């Protein structure tokens, strides 16, 4: 039975600007590309049969860099980051000024609040887990390049129960997370593998 290898995308242009964004589509920074290159070296020691990626540029570009086997990339909508709806592209200070009521509701009901024109974290987890359960790991390891929210939804679902652990995991930029399913039972084999700077 193969393992699911989750990889967070490298740093993007908007990650440096402290704004809320999910479906907005910035490119990787130079630092983000360097992070992906380091991950590529780690993956050179790991065999995989397929590679999936969010179609958003920061993830797809990371996937292109780390794809040492030059497999076709499978672009998957379910791997996109959370859609922040009306809050996309705003700083927290701008949100408080423009949407003060939304900011309160979002804090009080973070699991179910859908950002009015976006989606809820519950909905994000539903599509993220649906993707995982659609995979056939019987033939070997599978790589999936995605986002902080997607990864934390998956980790929380399998290792903390639904969304209880959503805020308790810290996947780093271009960090590698490995999950093994033994007889359907999930085992977390590693998080931020090879990223000593991000752990210590």
Nearby residues of 32 by Cβ (< 8 Å), 6 or more positions away:
9, 10, 11, 12, 15, 58, 62, 173, 174
- Cα(21)–Cα(78) distance, rounded to whole angstroms? 16
- Cα(75)–Cα(131) distance, rounded to whole angstroms? 12
Q: Which residue in the list 81, 88, 119, 147 is annotated as catalytic?
A: 81
What's the token pair of residue 124?
A: 């994000």
Q: Is 81 a catalytic residue?
A: yes
The torsion angle over the Cα atoms of residues 19, 21, 26 and 30, rounded to 10 degrees, is 50
Q: Is 23 a catalytic residue?
A: no
Q: Which residues are known to be catalytic?
A: 9, 81
């Amino acid at each position: 039975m193969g393992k699911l290898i989750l990889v967070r995308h490298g740093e993007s242009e908007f990650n440096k600007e402290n704004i809320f964004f999910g479906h907005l589509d910035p490119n990787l920074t130079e630092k983000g590309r360097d992070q992906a290159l380091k991950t590529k070296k780690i993956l050179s020691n790991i065999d995989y049969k397929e590679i999936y990626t969010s179609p958003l540029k920061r993830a797809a570009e990371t996937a292109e860099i780390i794809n040492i086997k030059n497999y076709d990339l499978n672009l998957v909508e379910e791997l996109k980051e959370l859609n922040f709806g009306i809050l996309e592209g705003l700083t927290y200070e701008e949100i408080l000024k423009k949407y003060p009521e939304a900011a309160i509701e979002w804090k009080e009901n973070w699991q179910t609040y859908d950002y009015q024109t976006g989606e809820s974290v519950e909905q994000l987890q539903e599509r993220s887990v649906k993707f995982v359960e659609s995979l056939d790991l019987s033939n070997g390891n599978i790589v999936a390049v995605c986002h902080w929210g997607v990864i934390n939804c998956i980790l929380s679902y399998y290792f903390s129960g639904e969304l209880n652990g959503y805020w308790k995991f810290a996947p780093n930029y271009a960090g590698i997370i490995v999950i093994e399913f033994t007889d359907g039972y999930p085992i977390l084999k590693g998080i931020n593998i090879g990223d000593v700077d991000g752990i210590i």
